[in-house]
Structure 1
Amino acid sequence: MLAAHLSRPLALVALLALAGCSAAPGPDGINDPYEEVNRGWHDTNIALDKAVIKPVSTAYGTVVPDPVRKGLSNVSDTLGIPGVVVNDVLQLKLGDALHNTARFAVNATIGLGGLFDPATGMGLEERDADFGQTLYTWGVGEGAYVVLPVYGPSTERDALGVVVDIVLDPVGNLLGNPEASYKTGLKVADLADTRYRYSDLYESVLYDSADSYAQMRLSYLDNRRYELGTPIVAGAETADQTTTYDLYEDFYE
């Protein structure tokens, strides 16, 4: 049963990886053949942020007390750990898989279902992994830069990774209705909390930049390549790297 469940998404991975992720970045370190379409989605995402995401996150951050918001975010993070473990195994990082399994066990029990994070204090800090990273480990190229609706900046490889992470999510597959919708709700609450906490940083790039599209593209590619240990965008060494990395890690992760 499990093999049948995994075979379809993994076959999709193989086909799309061969078809869409082979092109290399240009001399400037950027591969953006879909820029016109990407800018359209970027503008749509900004409009959505102004009309919906910012007002909702502001209301959430203002009405819901900080400890409650933090606790709900902790639960969401804890429910995401089994998916991280799957990617650890696929990358043959068995030490990280054991580490994250122990982190999940501690937070799910002592941490009261993930409301609290005693695991970090015990030396079981967060070690993230995703299927985009797994594809990189398997040798799949970055592909072109893309902007996804709502989600924002990505690449062909990482966009495919997002889809596969959703398909292979162990918790999401085990939960039935309405429990699965609760998990989705917790993730939305987590994103709203992050949008609220880092509002100034996010908006300084999104609303105050001379070209927010180019800045977001630089921020995403810079940070993602840094995470994976690959070259950053050419010329990016002149940018404020601390702000660049924080923007991606704090909001899009």
Structure 2
Amino acid sequence: MLSSGMKRLGTRKIGPVIVTVAAMLSPTWSWATAEQDPWENVNRAIFRFNDTLDTYALKPVAQGYQKITPELVQKGVTNFFNNIGDVANLANNLLQGKVQHAGVDTSRVLFNSTFGVLGVMDVATPMGLQRNNEDFGQTLGVWGVGSGSYVMLPFFGPSTVRDGIGLVPNAYMGPYPYMNNMGVRNGMYALDVVDDRANLLAAEKLITGDRYVFIRNAYLQNREYLIKDGEVVDDF
């Protein structure tokens, strides 16, 4: 079995080159097949576009952000956006019938939003309230919807047909559609994306060989792991 702690790792969202850290640490990649990636030629072209965009735009910005921003401030920003993400975790745990996890999510939001000063400090984790990692793509998987083929989305990165559909309700579980001030909304979203990318700078050093294949297999394996709550048997 894979490490049970793996399912608590990962990123808040998908981005241009978002590689799920939990999956990158997994020991097996061989199970991803051409059958799961029938659109590989198109996917590779989109991957090159995303990778170029990241190399010349997002990554340099993230590196600059990491360099000039004090580590304590970076941690506070990450905690703030994680606290917002816990609302989506709560909604999806309820939709999946995971009442106990939903209770943890509720407690995390309450404690971090109050004692943690709007989530800037994560006071819930030291209390034993571990963060969950749920989204609507996982919810559809729990409901029995198949993943469909692997697809590389422009700007959003690795996905499947099911997870791509799940991006729409995921968006409405966040704050951005409900923010009327366009400047504040765009600025907040931009900071969220840059913070996510900065958190992945160290992890991307783990990528070896064919970057496209590595990221595809990492994504597919981690999604299976999350949907099955860690009940995945190694290939070996």
The residue matched to 2:155 in structure 1 has which SS?
coil
Partner amino acid for 1:215? F
The sequence identity of aligned pairs, in percent, is 35
- Map 1:148-167; keep pairs closer than 5 Å: 148-167=153-172
Structure with a larger share of its residues in helix: 1
Paired position in structure 2 for 1:129: 134
C-alpha distance in structure 2 between counterparts of 1:173 and 1:215, whole Å: 33
Matched, 1:43 2:48: yes
Distance 1:74 1:157, change over 3 A: same
Matched, 1:192 2:192: no
Query: Is the 8 Å Cα contact of residues 112 and 121 (structure 2) preserved in structure 1?
Result: yes
The residue matched to 1:118 in structure 2 has which SS?
coil
The residue matched to 2:221 in structure 1 has which SS?
helix
Partner amino acid for 2:119? G
The residue matched to 1:176 in structure 2 has which SS?
coil
The residue matched to 2:147 in structure 1 has which SS?
coil
Q: Which has the larger Rg?
A: 1
- Map 1:204-243; keep pairs closer than 5 Å: 204-205=206-207, 208-209=208-209, 211-229=210-228, 237=235
Q: 2:146 aligns with which of 141, 154, 158?
A: 141
Instruction: Name the TM-score, length of structure 1 as normaliser.
Output: 0.73
Query: Is the 8 Å Cα contact of residues 131 and 165 (structure 1) preserved in structure 2?
Result: yes
What is the CA distance between 1:174 and its match in structure 2? 4.3
Distance 1:173 1:85, change over 3 A: farther
User: Which one has more relative contact order, counting CA pairs under 8 Å at least 6 apart?
Assistant: 2
C-alpha distance in structure 2 between counterparts of 1:96 and 1:204, whole Å: 31
Distance 1:55 1:27, change over 3 A: closer
Paired position in structure 1 for 2:121: 116
Instruction: Name the TM-score, length of structure 2 as normaliser.
Output: 0.78
Paired position in structure 2 for 1:62: 67
Paired position in structure 2 for 1:176: 180
Partner amino acid for 2:76? G
- Long gaps (5+) in structure 1: 1-25, 239-253
- Count of residues paired in the alignment: 204
- Long gaps (5+) in structure 2: 1-30
Paired position in structure 2 for 1:202: 204
Q: 1:107 aligns with which of 108, 112, 126?
A: 112
Pairwise CA RMSD: 2.5
